[in-house]
Structure 1
Amino acid sequence: MVEQTLEIFKRGSKILSVLQDEKRQQILVLLCREKQLTVNQITSLLPISRPAVSHHLKLMLDAGVLSVSQVGLERYYSSDLEDALDWLKELTRSLEEDLENKGNK
């Protein structure tokens, strides 16, 4: 069972890695509150430079916790946590099973 849990951890390592940064956490929380925002809007709401916001958004897109849509010349970013939450639920279930099995030994 522990091997299964380790495999689940590996699948989510990119999510965990990208979300350990405080600036990315701030951006994600902001995007969870707002429906969608542009880079300029995010920059105006947080004490992060525009290039840094763009960099963080790219990493978060690559990790699958954001989505982006193009409207004219603007790119609008929004939180997209469904897959990450499904992974977290799977990890939680697996860890709970591991703990139950430990108690039964």
Structure 2
Amino acid sequence: MQADHSSQLESLVHQQLRECSPVFLALADPIRQDIIMMLTKHDSLNVAQIVERSPMSRSAISHHLKILKQAKLVASTKVSTEIYYALDIEGPVQQLKEFLATTERIIEMKTAGAE
């Protein structure tokens, strides 16, 4: 039974890891990290406001925002002709917590089995 439960957990953690991959990839880039930090200091910013605070071009910032949005780390809202971006990290944070919890259970089981 223990091996079956361990196999199920390993399958679950593998699935969770795949689901978290876009978040890991999005957060791996220093420019995207900078954008995340900017958005922690402001409720929302448009592309021009982010460009003002960055050495990157408008097209580069737009590209990075697209990746952050695909990873569900930022949300966008259109106001008139401008699109504003804001942090929206609750979902990804919950995914990461679940991944870590499953990983910890696997480690605990392996540690208990080694004793």
TM-score band, normalised by the shorter chain? over 0.9
Looking at structure 1, the residues matched to 109 and 10 of structure 2 have their Cα atoms a distance apart, in angstroms, of 10
Q: Max radius of gyration: which structure?
A: 2
Specify the alignment match of 2:5 in structure 1: none
Looking at structure 1, the residues matched to 55 and 39 of structure 2 have their Cα atoms a distance apart, in angstroms, of 15
Looking at structure 1, the residues matched to 71 and 102 of structure 2 have their Cα atoms a distance apart, in angstroms, of 22
Whether 1:94 aligns to 2:113 is no
Looking at structure 1, the residues matched to 41 and 100 of structure 2 have their Cα atoms a distance apart, in angstroms, of 25
Specify the alignment match of 1:48 in structure 2: 56
Q: Aligned residues: percent identity? A: 31
Structure 1 length-normalised TM: 0.95
Looking at structure 2, the residues matched to 101 and 29 of structure 1 have their Cα atoms a distance apart, in angstroms, of 37
Match for residue 80 of structure 2 among 51, 65, 72: 72
CA deviation profile, 1:41-88 (whole Å, cap 9, x unmatched): 001112211110011111111111110001111110001101100001
Looking at structure 1, the residues matched to 98 and 59 of structure 2 have their Cα atoms a distance apart, in angstroms, of 35
Looking at structure 1, the residues matched to 21 and 58 of structure 2 have their Cα atoms a distance apart, in angstroms, of 27
Specify the alignment match of 2:29 in structure 1: 21
Structure 2, unmatched stretches of 5+, are: 1-8
Structure 1 position 4, deviation (Å) = 1.3
Match for residue 5 of structure 1 among 13, 34, 40: 13
CA RMSD of aligned residues (A): 0.9
Structure 1 position 2, deviation (Å) = 1.6
Greater CA deviation, 15-24 or 74-83?
A: 15-24
Structure 1, unmatched stretches of 5+, are: none
